[in-house]
Each structure stands twice: as C-alpha cells, then as structure tokens.
Amino acid sequence: MKGILYLEDGTVFYGNGFGKLGTEIGELVFNTSMTGYQEILTDPSYAGQIVNMTYPLIGNYGVSGSENQSKKVYAKGFVAKTICDTPSNYMSEKSIDEMLKSMEVVGVYGVDTRSITKKIRNAGVMKCIISNEIFDLKKLKKVMDSTEIVDKYVSEVSTKEILHIKGSGYKVAVMDFGIKSDIIENLRAKDFDITVFPYDANPEKILSINPDGLFLSNGPGDPKSIPQTVENVKELIKKLPTFGICLGHQIIALAVGGDTYKLKFGHRGGNHGVYDIERDKAYITAQNHGYAVDEKSVEENGMIITHRNLNDGTVEGMKHRKLPIFSVQFHPEGAPGPTDTTYLFDKFKDNIKNSKINEAKCKIQMDSCLEKVAY
C-alpha cells in the first residue's frame, strides 16, 4: 500500500501506507522521543495533528493496552521512517500497524522523516494531508485549499460528564482539557480525592464540591480558543491553591492578565532540558505544546518565573508572588519520558496543606478579635 504526505507549501513526500485506509488533514509536527510512540498517539494533546517521529524505528516493542493515555487516538495521522511488524516484548499485544487500524488512524512510513523535521524547523508547522488512498496531486491540492482547520480540540477531548475518583486525602477539582491517564495516576498516588470536570464547567459547579485545590490539565491547541474557560479560571484561582501543566499553565498566564504566543515548531519529545531556577538544577522533561507564555506579560501581573527552557529560553514554569498558584509547561508525569519532576505533585500537596494551615490561623485570629470586641 502506498502513502503520501502533501504539505501546505506544495512539498510532497512519497512512502508506504499503514494503519487505516484513508485521507486526513491536520497540522504537521515532529516528536523527538526515542520510545513511547503508544503514549504519544493516545495523548489527547495531539488532537488535530499529524505526528512525524524523528526516531527511525517505530513499533519494535509492540503495543500494550496498559500504556494508553486515553481511550482513543485524537491525532490525525502518524509518520515514521521504518515500522516493525514483528515486535518483541513480553507485554506486547499487537503491532503498531494493528493499533492504528483498530484506532482508525492513517499512517505513512518509508519517508525521509529527517528531511520532514528539517522542513518544519525551517518553515514552521503547517497544514498537511496524509493519505494512503489518494495520490492525485490536483485532488490533494483541492482538499488542502478547501479545508480550514478550526481549533475546537479541547471540547472534543474533554470529559463530557463529571467523574469522581475516590481518595482519602485532600479534595482536588480537575479541569479536564485533555488529561492523560498517568497524570490521574500521579494525583491518586498522593491520595487526592479527585473530581474531574469538563473544560467548560463554571466556578459555581466546581466550588460546589468544596475542593481543597484546583488542577488544570494538559490539552491541545491554542489557550485563547477557550476564552470562557480562562474567565472561569480567573475566578477560581482567587479562591483555591492551583497547579497547572501544559495548556493549564498557559491558561493561568491568560487568567492573571498575561499573554501567550505560538512557537515556530513547538516542543514535543521526552528529552527537553529545563532549568529549575529555585532548585538551581537542570532536568530532562517530557513536552508537547505549540504555544508558550510571554515572560514579560506575566511578570507584570504578579508571576515569578521558576523554570526556563535550556534550548530556547522560553518560560517553562512560574508561580504567583502572593497566591498559592504555580504551573509548568512540561509534563512532570512523563508518559513517555522521564519522571524526574514528579516532585511537583508533592509541591501541590504542600501548597494545599500550607493554605489550610494559614486559613486556620486566620480563623483563630479572627475569633480572638471577635471575642475582644464582644468583651
């Protein structure tokens, strides 16, 4: 079966097709991870994108259902240099080709993925058609010209109903913008009692469970595409200790009055260096995002920069000067990638604990003042 990639600027890459027989259009991006293709495919943050893997061999250890980060693949297509049809791993249940067929994802392999990556790095991310059924360039150009990509991805990937995951510790309200299963597992590991809300849940609904903290998840697309959510978060962060990652980090930036902007080709992979300013220590992190926080805009609105990207200097983390709010651009849970920064989930728990202690002290002081007034 043949395969083709037709880029917005007219560039064409011919290869072989695999996965679902079909034609899709999306934003062409690249990921530099050496492993974790299954987690990448099932990460909802890739909604609407065609993922080009820079590592040359994909599928060698197969696919296991336990590694999925969501119930389906939201990416529009998958591109690899070479795929393995005979995986070797004791956990393997199927091949990458079988996974893409079952998840109805179009794949192309046998193309020069290095050349594709260099193209994106030089020109920036762009629209792309991936197909293993249509090879007429005039037809592909017609599809390209007549298709507009509309960023409504968060509404597609977010939960449609409120979900409760019982725990014995602090109550945490999670706003789901496309949350990965490993993030939930990291929150559960800290004994949080978790309630997952749709992305557009209003503050009244979220506060009705009397949460001790607020968690803003990862997710796809432009944070400015969900302005009402930003307004909702603006109200909630005044009342709750808050931790945001990835898209949640960008939404916090907008909620405090800052700004975000689109990167030329984004950060996607499990090998991105980040400097933790407060710890004076560098970490290798997992990342997947196409937008970044404008540093000056958030510093002018009460935020302190806590993490910085070691490749391009962009903002990778921040905290509020007075309120118990902090966020990071990378994925501390890994999946795929290193888990060196899972200490941030402990930091979130400590923030909630300290907030509770401060509330108790304020109440004692207030009660004492009232007693004196009454006397």
279 — phi, psi (to 5°)?
-90, -10
Q: Cβ(202)–Cβ(233) under 8 Å?
A: no
Check residue 364 and give its pLDDT. 57
Within 10 angstroms of residue 302's Cβ, the number of other Cβ atoms is 16
Share of the chain above pLDDT 90, in %: 93
Residue 90 buriedness (CB in 10 A; 0-12 / 13-18 / 19+): exposed
**Structural domains of the chain, with CATH:** 2-149 (3.50.30.20), 154-359 (3.40.50.880)
> Residue 213 annotated as binding?
no
Instruction: Grade residue 357 by pLDDT with cuts at 50, 70 and 90.
Output: confident
> Residue 45 annotated as binding?
yes
> Residue 351 annotated as binding?
no
Q: Cβ(246)–Cβ(331) under 8 Å?
A: yes
Judge whether 316 counts as a catalytic residue.
Answer: no
When the pLDDT of each residue in the chain is averaged and rounded to a whole number, the result is: 94
Torsional class of 97: left (φ above 0), alpha (ψ -120 to 50), beta (otherwise): alpha
pTM of the predicted model as reported, rounded to 2 decimal places = 0.94
- Tokens 């014995």, residue located: 168
Choose, from 272, 289, 320, 331, the residue flagged as catalytic. Answer: 331
Residues 6+ apart with CB under 8 A from 29: 46, 49, 50, 51, 52, 120, 125, 265, 266, 268, 290
Strands 193-197 and 126-131: unpaired
Which 3 state secondary structure label does DSSP give 202? coil
Judge whether 246 counts as a catalytic residue.
Answer: yes
Q: Inform me whether the pLDDT recorded for 369 exceeds 50.
A: no
pLDDT one-digit tens code per residue, 255-266: 999 999 999 999
CA distance 51 to 288: 11
Q: Quick one: average pLDDT of 348-363?
A: 84
Q: Inform me whether the pLDDT recorded for 289 exceeds 80.
A: yes
Q: Inform me whether the pLDDT recorded for 297 exceeds 70.
A: yes
Share of the chain above pLDDT 70, in %: 96
> Residue 41 annotated as binding?
no
Q: Quick one: average pLDDT of 218-242?
A: 97
Q: Cβ(251)–Cβ(245) under 8 Å?
A: no
Highest mean pLDDT among 28-37, 351-360, 362-371: 28-37
- Which residue blocks in the chain are alpha helix, DSSP H? 37-41, 96-103, 113-123, 137-146, 153-157, 181-189, 203-207, 227-236, 247-255, 295-299, 343-374
List the end-to-end C-alpha distance of the chain, in Å, as a whole number.
88
H/E element holding 316? Answer: strand 315-320
Judge whether 362 counts as a catalytic residue.
Answer: no
Q: Quick one: average pLDDT of 193-203?
A: 98
> Residue 199 annotated as binding?
no
> Residue 288 annotated as binding?
yes
Check residue 362 and give its pLDDT. 61
pLDDT one-digit tens code per residue, 84-110: 999 999 999 999 999 999 999 999 999
Q: Quick one: average pLDDT of 148-176?
A: 96
Quick one: which of 347, 162, 329, 344 has its CA closest to 251?
A: 329
Residue 338 buriedness (CB in 10 A; 0-12 / 13-18 / 19+): middle
Check residue 356 and give its pLDDT. 87
Q: Inform me whether the pLDDT recorded for 365 exceeds 80.
A: no
Strands 82-83 and 126-131: unpaired
Q: Quick one: average pLDDT of 68-76?
A: 95
Strands 260-276 and 126-131: unpaired
Which 3 state secondary structure label does DSSP give 338? coil
CA distance 302 to 304: 7
CA distance 98 to 130: 18
Choose, from 246, 272, 307, 320, the residue flagged as catalytic. Answer: 246
Structure tokens of 264? Answer: 């030329």
Q: Quick one: average pLDDT of 131-158?
A: 95
> Residue 240 annotated as binding?
no
Check residue 224 and give its pLDDT. 97
Instruction: Grade residue 372 by pLDDT with cuts at 50, 70 and 90.
Output: very low
Q: Cβ(311)–Cβ(272) under 8 Å?
A: yes
> Residue 257 annotated as binding?
no
Instruction: Grade residue 358 by pLDDT with cuts at 50, 70 and 90.
Output: confident
